């Protein structure tokens, strides 16, 4: 039976190349020098306070201005070993750049993200001698489970202090969301793996890929073999829409999770990824935007993001919303999915119920409508899958409960990143979790205070 | 609209903006373009004796840039005109004939002997030029040959050559002074004593722009070697303005006409030199940075400023600032200023706080009720103006003078409005009155 009008190769090779190129091209040297000059070198800089990893932003920008790219990179990477990826994916418009004092008179902050990218990538292009050297090996062994931003930051921090790290990940490549979960145009040039390679160059980190907690290894087993464990498990589960989903042949490819669609795009040539002519994306977060925009860039004619509440409720930032709209995505609010529509066993669309707020509660208005679709992507959020870590670890709101340093309820077990309760699901926050947990583990293992 | 015309030593020009003797006035094509753009006058690039000098065929200029490549300072190692004397004289005659309303001054530099000066002055007079400027300032190349600043650094030579020139020409004689001396009043007095009709200043300042850290060669360099050059541009304006003021307020030279030179880039710079006593101003670097059209912006700004202030002619404010320039020992030690931060326009960068805290008087608080908030602690503020200087938002930090009856929170003294300076201060062992 025919599938919906879902196919790869809708565009020319040139269109794929330009559509999936760097969304925000890096600054060249003259641009960086001019932009760096705009930094006022604030005292107790608000941008630094706004950065979850506390990068000394005035210092790194001053070094860029003085043409000292290596020194700039050192200032960044000391505070944030994934400063390169964060420069590309941080929502700077709500973090450092929102805090920039230039906003007051100009509504145009210093382009901190682009300058950070200039510094880190300029350094990585000509790294020279290592920026960080490993302390004398301590003989202590730490298992880091999950090689996403939190796990990578933890592994790097632990390795710097001389501990031996085994870095487990269920996937075939290191990087976690950096490798599988971000839109291709955000990480052009294979940057995720370049950054991983640099992080591992410190030494003392042994990757173990295709190794899944709960299947290939267990927490108890790790605690037997290692002195400490850091869990950077991410969010392995996907929220269900909570509607009846018919058994249709081929439904798997025309009605799928946005995270899988995004991962497929990262692991394939865009020209190999199938997309419909009409795409509906359900959800209002960054994942929804990444999926919707990339659908458009793959050649879909009509892409609609549907969100059940009003525009103010979208978790995608205003910047991300504008990015979606600029790329031709329609954002439709106040509608919740009701049913998958099909004809002759083929997906034809999604039926929605219009919603409104009534007394603070979201209710149906009674109106319904159908959006035609050959492809429906679900992006209504991910959940922490607690099972692999075992029942003993204490949770809070469905994620792992920790103290500020990432200590869990279990002795010798730390956790960080999206699997840790109380966060905002930001890459830069995950890095800070990993960085702090590494220091905490180091202190616990050696009895030496942070240093 | 304000009248910008000048009559300097009897030389009239439609505005006070003259191009200084330098590459922009090197030859006819440049000077014609300058006059067409609106310059009030030119000082033709310095003429010397034949055979002409030879310039290097490599970098003659080097630059001090801001981060975004704005030119802050500029230096050069060009010599005087490297074209035959007669070529220059023919061109001067033609241009003056075609632009009779513009000032045409000819800069001169020949060896220190009377015959040389007499000979060249006669040839210049034939061109119809309006005056001569004696180049006693060039600090590179020519000075090694006993000319330029080598003359300008010896007051006796200045006086001698000036006397020769006054003897051998009827044209007004302007003596251009070098800043590469310890006290500019001495060469100015010498020029005055020699009969100079005016002095112009400053010429350029000895300088080396930098070192190429890859090759470890100074810049600018010619085939791996360099030589100090003359520094000019915006960065030298304060030095020039001080030297102009020193001459303007020196009783020995008071009233000597002045042509101000040194980093004049905007109409404000020009107005400041005029307020410090200058009859005309000379510009070079700004033209070399922006092209000749800049003169239209200079005239527009100066004219609008004068209209706004009610000045109908340059004479209305010429020299007005001179009486305010004093020796330090005349400053009123009873006067007290305090910094004030306008909280409405403060952008909270905190630079005022950190520089005051680190390098001055710990007089700016960084928080208020636990919040980021920058405000002045009058009990520590000495009114030094550092915060005003580094604040990136114009007008946000200002100085307020304490009024009679107010108490200085730092010293506990009540301001009584009286004047008292160092000469009478009890801490001064040399004070004239300790009572």
What is the number of alpha carbons within 13 Å of residue B113 lying toward its C-beta? 5
Q: Do B66 and A44 touch (CB under 8 A)?
A: no
CA distance to partner chain B, nearest, from residue A45 (Å): 7
Residue A240: CB atoms within 10 A of its CB come to 11
Q: What is the pLDDT of residue B434?
A: 47
| Whole-number Å distance between alpha carbons of A124 and A423 | 30
Which of B261, B295, B324 delimits the end of a domain?
A: B324
B347/A36 touch (CB, cutoff 8 Å), yes or no = no
DSSP letters spanning B158-190: HHHHHHHHHHH-SS-EEEEPPS-SS-THHHHHH
Do B203 and B178 touch, CB atoms closer than 8 A?
Answer: yes
DSSP tally for chain A: helices H, then strands E = 18, 19
- Which two structure tokens, joined as six digits, stand for A232? 């950077």
Q: Does a structural domain hold residue B424?
A: no
Q: Residue A346 belongs to what H/E stretch?
A: strand A346-358
What is the end-to-end Cα distance of chain A in Å, rounded?
64
Residues of B in contact with A102 (CB under 8 A): 347
Best mutation site among B65, B66, B68 for testing chain A: the one with the most A CBs within 10 Å? B68
What is the pLDDT, as a whole number, of residue A40? Answer: 96
Q: Which residues have C-beta within 8 Å of that of residue B264, sequence separation ≥ 6?
A: B237, B270, B273, B281, B282, B283, B286
**Shared-domain flag, residues B339 and B303:** no
Same domain, B93 and B153: yes
Contact B435, B424 (CB under 8 A): no
Given a contact cutoff of 8 angstroms between Cβ atoms, the answer to whether A26 and A49 are in contact is no
Q: How confident is the model at residue A4 (pLDDT cuts 50, 70, 90)?
A: low
CB-based contact A286:A323 (threshold 8 Å): no
Q: How far apart are CA B218 and CA B328, in angstroms?
A: 38
What ipTM was assigned to the predicted interfaces of this complex? 0.86
| CB-based burial, B174-193: b 16+ in 10 Å, e otherwise | bbbbbbbbeebbbbbbbbbb
Among A161-170, A439-448, B426-435, which is the least confidently predicted range?
Answer: B426-435
Q: What pLDDT, on a 0 to 100 scale, did the predictor assign at position B204?
A: 96
Residues B311 and B337 in one domain: no
In the numeric block, which tokens belong to residue A52?
């979850």
Mark which of B324, B356, B390 sits at the end of a domain. Answer: B324
B205 and B102 co-located in one domain: yes
Q: Contacts of residue A33 in chain B, CB cutoff 8 Å? A: 67-68
- B211 and B318 in a single domain? The answer is yes
Taking only the tens place, the pLDDT of each residue in A326-353 is 999 999 999 999 999 988 888 999 999 9
Residues with pLDDT less than 50, chain B: 434-435
Q: How far apart are the first and last CA of chain B?
A: 55
pLDDT at A447: 85
Q: Would you call B347 and A101 a contact, using CB atoms and an 8 Å cutoff?
A: yes
Cα within 13 Å of Cα(B325), Cβ side: 18
What residues 371-430 of chain A have any CB closer than 8 A to a CB of chain B? none
A43 vs B366: CB contact, 8 Å cut-off? yes
Q: Residue B250 sits in a domain of what CATH number?
A: 3.20.20.70
Range of the domain at B355: 332-419
Q: Is A186 exposed, middle or buried (0-12, 13-18, 19+ CB in 10 A)?
A: middle
Residues B356 and B300 in one domain: no
Among all chains, which residue has been given the structure tokens 């009674």? A366
A201, A130 contact by CB (below 8 A): yes
Helix (H, G, I), strand (E, B) or coil at B2: coil
Residues A324 and A314: beta-carbon distance below 8 Å:
no
Q: Are residues B355 and B313 in the same domain?
A: no
Inter-chain contact A101–B349, Cβ cutoff 8 Å?
yes
Residue B347 to residue A105, Cβ atoms within 8 A = yes
Asked if the C-beta of B354 comes within 8 angstroms of chain A's C-beta atoms, the answer is yes
A44 vs A127: CA distance, rounded Å:
30
Share of chain A above pLDDT 70, in %: 98
CATH code of the domain made up of A141-236+384-446 = 3.50.50.60
Min CA distance, B137 vs chain A (Å)? 35
Neighbours of A376 (CB within 10 A): 26
Q: Choose the mutation target among B342, B344, B347 for the interface with A, i.e. most A CBs under 10 Å.
A: B347
Among A36, A41, A104, the residue with its CB nearest the CB of B347 is: A104
Q: What CATH number is given to the structural domain containing B400?
A: 3.30.70.20
The rounded distance, in Å, linking the Cα atoms of A409 and A399 is 12
The C-alpha atoms of residue A390 and residue A223 are separated, in whole angstroms, by 13
Q: Is residue B429 one of the residues assigned to a domain?
A: no
Q: Please count the CA atoms within 13 angstroms of the CA of A221 that sit on its side-chain side.
A: 10
What would the pLDDT profile of A82-100 be if each residue is shown by its tens digit?
Answer: 999 999 999 999 999 999 9
Q: Does domain A38-125 have CATH number 1.10.1060.10?
A: yes
Q: Which of B324, B355, B370 is the last residue of a domain?
A: B324
Residue B431 lies in a domain: no
Provide the 8-state DSSP code for A135: P
Are B159 and B205 contained in the same domain?
A: yes
Q: What are B229's strand-pairing partners?
A: B207
Contact assignment for A34 to B68 by CB distance below 8 Å: yes
B390 in contact with A at a CB cutoff of 8 Å? no
User: Within a domain: residue B425?
Assistant: no
Residue A402's nearest CA partner among A151, A426, A147, A393 is A393
DSSP B335: -
Q: Does A43 contact chain B (CB < 8 Å)? A: yes
Beta-bridge mates of residue B166: none
The DSSP bridge pattern shows strands B217-219 and B278-283 to be unpaired
B12 and B151 housed in the same domain: yes
Position B427 in a domain: no
| Exposure string for B301-333, b = 16+ CB within 10 A, e = fewer | bbbebbeeeebeebeebbbebbeebeeeeeeee
Distance CA A68, CA B330 (A): 47
Three-state secondary-structure class, residue B400: strand
Same fold across A6-17+238-381 and A141-236+384-446: yes
Collect all residues of chain A within an 8 Å Cβ-Cβ radius of residue B67. 33-34, 36-37, 65
The residue among A355, A264, A374, A265 whose CA lies nearest residue A307 is A355
Smallest Cβ–Cβ distance between A37 and the set B67, B354, B393 belongs to B67
Tell me if B435 is assigned to some domain. Answer: no
Identify which of B394, B209, B66, B390 has the alpha carbon closest to the alpha carbon of residue A34: B66
Cα(B202)–Cα(B258) distance, integer angstroms: 11
**Chain A CB within 8 Å of residue B350 CB:** yes
Nearest C-alpha neighbor of B92 from the set B46, B138, B137: B46
**Closest-CA distance of chain A to residue B345, Å:** 9
Same domain, B155 and B134: yes
Q: Cβ contacts (< 8 Å) between A42 and chain B: which residues?
A: 348-351
The answer to whether position B433 is within a domain reads no
CATH number of the structural domain A6-17+238-381: 3.50.50.60
B285 and B141 part of one domain = yes
Distance CA A239, CA A416 (A): 21
Q: Is A343 on the interface with B (CB under 8 A)?
A: no
Contact indicator for A381, A399 with CB cutoff of 8 Å: no
Domain assignment present for residue B297? The answer is: yes
Q: Give the residue numbers of B annotated as catalytic, written as ranges.
A: 138
- How confident is the model at residue A364, as a pLDDT? 96
Q: What is the pLDDT of residues A208-244, one digit of tens each?
A: 999 999 999 999 999 999 999 999 999 999 988 888 8
CB atoms B349 and A44 under 8 Å: no
User: Shortest Cα distance from B214 to chain A (angstroms)?
Assistant: 14
Q: Do residue B56 and residue B163 come from a single domain?
A: yes
Report, as an integer, the average pLDDT of A99-117. 97
The chain A residue lying nearest B346, using CA atoms, is A104
* Integer Cα distance of B388 and A146 in angstroms: 53
Average predicted confidence (pLDDT) for chain B? 96
Q: Where along chain A do its domains lie?
A: 6-17+238-381, 38-125, 141-236+384-446
Query: Other C-beta atoms within 10 Å of A173: how many?
Result: 18
What mean pLDDT is reported for chain A? 95
Would you call A369 an interface residue with chain B, using a CB distance cutoff of 8 Å?
Answer: no
Interface check A67 vs B, CB under 8 A: no
A300 φ/ψ angles, rounded to the nearest 5 degrees:
-65, 145
**How many helices and strands in chain B, by DSSP H and E?**
12, 22
Name the region of A279 (left: φ>0; alpha: ψ -120 to 50; beta: rest): beta
Phi, psi of A277 (to 5 degrees): -80, -35
Nearest Cα residue in chain B from A64: B67
Per-residue pLDDT tens over the stretch A72-85: 999 999 999 999 99
Residue B372 forms contact with A (CB below 8 Å): yes
3-state SS of A379-392 is: CCCEECCCHHHCCC
Given a contact cutoff of 8 angstroms between Cβ atoms, the answer to whether A152 and A146 are in contact is no
B379/chain A closest Cα distance in angstroms: 22
A34 touches chain B (CB under 8 A): yes
Given a contact cutoff of 8 angstroms between Cβ atoms, the answer to whether B393 and B347 are in contact is yes
Contact criterion met (CB < 8 Å) for A43 and B354 = yes
B residues 19..48 contacting A (CB < 8 A)? none
Chain B interface disruption, residue of A29, A39, A43, A57, most B CBs within 10 A: A43
pLDDT of A22 over the 80 cut: yes
Q: Count how many domains chain B has.
A: 2
Nearest chain B residue to A31, by CA: B68
Would you state the pLDDT for residue B54? 94
Residues of chain A positioned with their CB less than 8 A from the CB of B342: none
Cβ A65–B372 below 8 Å, yes or no? no
């Amino acid at each position: 039976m025919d599938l919906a009008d879902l196919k790869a190769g809708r565009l020319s090779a040139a269109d794929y190349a330009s559509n999936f190129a760097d969304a925000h091209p890096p600054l060249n040297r003259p641009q960086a020098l001019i932009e760096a000059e705009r930094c006022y070198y604030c005292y107790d800089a608000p941008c630094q306070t706004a950065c979850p990893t506390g990068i000394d932003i005035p210092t790194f920008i001053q070094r860029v201005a003085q043409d000292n790219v290596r020194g700039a990179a050192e200032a960044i990477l000391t505070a944030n070993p994934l400063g390169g990826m964060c420069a590309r994916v941080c929502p700077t418009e709500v973090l450092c750049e929102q805090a920039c004092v230039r906003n007051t008179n100009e509504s145009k902050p210093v382009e901190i993200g682009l300058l950070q990218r200039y510094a880190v990538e300029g350094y990585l292009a000509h790294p020279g001698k290592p920026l960080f050297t490993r302390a004398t090996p301590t003989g202590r062994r730490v298992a880091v489970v999950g090689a996403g931003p939190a796990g990578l930051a933890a592994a790097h921090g632990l390795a710097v202090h001389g501990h031996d790290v085994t870095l487990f990940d269920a996937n075939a490549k290191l990087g976690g969301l950096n490798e599988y979960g971000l839109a291709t145009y955000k990480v052009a040039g294979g940057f995720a793996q370049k950054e991983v390679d640099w992080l591992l160059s410190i030494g003392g980190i042994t990757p173990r890929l295709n190794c899944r907690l709960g299947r290939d290894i267990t927490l108890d087993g790790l605690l037997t073999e290692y002195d400490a464990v850091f869990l950077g498990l991410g969010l392995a589960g996907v929220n269900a829409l909570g509607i009846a989903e018919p058994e249709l042949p081929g439904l798997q490819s025309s009605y799928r999770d946005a995270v899988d669609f995004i991962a497929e795009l990262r692991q394939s040539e865009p020209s190999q990824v199938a997309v419909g002519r009409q795409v509906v994306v359900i959800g209002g977060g960054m994942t929804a935007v990444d999926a919707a925009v990339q659908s458009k860039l793959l050649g879909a004619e009509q892409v609609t993001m549907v969100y059940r509440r009003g525009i103010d409720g979208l978790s995608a930032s205003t910047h991300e919303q504008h990015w979606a709209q600029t790329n031709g995505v329609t954002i439709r609010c106040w509608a919740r999915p009701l049913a998958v529509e099909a004809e002759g066993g083929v997906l034809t669309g999604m039926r929605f119920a219009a919603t409104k707020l009534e007394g603070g509660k979201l209710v149906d208005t009674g109106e319904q409508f159908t959006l035609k679709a050959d492809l429906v992507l679900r992006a209504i959020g991910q959940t922490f899958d607690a099972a692999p870590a075992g029942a003993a670890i204490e949770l809070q709101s469905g994620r792992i409960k920790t103290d500020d340093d990432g200590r869990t309820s279990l002795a010798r077990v730390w956790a960080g990143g999206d699997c840790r309760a109380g966060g905002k699901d930001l890459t830069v926050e995950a890095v800070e979790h990993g960085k702090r947990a590494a220091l905490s583990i180091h202190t616990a293992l050696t009895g030496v205070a942070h240093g | 609209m304000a009248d910008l015309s000048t009559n300097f030593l009897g030389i009239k020009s439609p505005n006070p903006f003259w191009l200084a003797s330098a590459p922009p006035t090197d030859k006819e094509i440049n000077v014609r373009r300058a006059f067409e753009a609106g310059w009030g006058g030119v000082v033709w690039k310095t003429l010397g004796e034949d055979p002409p000098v030879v310039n290097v065929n490599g970098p003659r200029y080097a630059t001090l840039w801001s981060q975004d490549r704005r030119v802050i300072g500029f230096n050069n190692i060009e010599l005087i005109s490297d074209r035959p004397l007669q070529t220059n004289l023919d061109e001067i005659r033609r241009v003056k004939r075609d632009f009779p309303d513009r000032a045409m001054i000819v800069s001169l530099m020949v060896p220190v002997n009377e015959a040389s000066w007499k000979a060249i002055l006669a040839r210049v007079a034939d061109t119809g030029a309006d005056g001569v400027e004696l180049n006693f300032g060039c600090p590179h190349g020519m000075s090694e040959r006993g000319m330029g600043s080598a003359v300008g650094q010896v007051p006796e030579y200045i006086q001698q050559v000036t006397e020769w020139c006054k003897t051998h020409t009827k044209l007004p004689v302007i003596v251009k002074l070098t800043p590469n001396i310890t006290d500019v009043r001495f060469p100015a007095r010498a020029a005055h004593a020699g009969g100079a009709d005016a002095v112009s200043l400053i010429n350029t300042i000895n300088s080396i722009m930098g070192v190429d850290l890859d090759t470890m060669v100074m810049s600018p360099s010619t085939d791996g070697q360099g030589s100090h050059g003359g520094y000019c541009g915006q960065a030298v304006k304060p030095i020039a303005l001080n030297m102009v003021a020193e001459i303007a307020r020196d009783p020995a030279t008071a009233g000597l006409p002045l042509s101000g030179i040194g980093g004049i880039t905007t109409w404000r710079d020009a107005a400041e030199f005029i307020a410090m006593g200058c009859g005309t101003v000379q510009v070079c670097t700004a033209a070399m940075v922006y092209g000749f059209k800049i003169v239209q912006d200079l005239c527009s700004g100066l004219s609008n400023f004068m209209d706004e202030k009610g000045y109908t002619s340059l004479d209305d404010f010429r020299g007005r600032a001179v009486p305010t320039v004093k020796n330090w020992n005349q400053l009123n030690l009873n006067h007290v200023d305090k910094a004030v931060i306008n909280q409405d326009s403060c952008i909270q960068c905190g630079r005022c706080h950190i520089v005051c805290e680190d390098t001055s008087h710990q007089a700016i608080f960084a928080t208020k009720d636990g919040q980021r908030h920058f405000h002045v602690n009058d009990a520590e503020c000495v009114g030094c103006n550092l915060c005003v200087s580094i604040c990136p938002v114009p007008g946000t930090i200002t100085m307020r003078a304490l009024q009679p009856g107010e108490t200085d929170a730092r010293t506990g003294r009540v301001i009584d409005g009286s004047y008292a300076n160092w000469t009478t201060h009890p801490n001064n062992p040399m004070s004239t009155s300790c009572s």
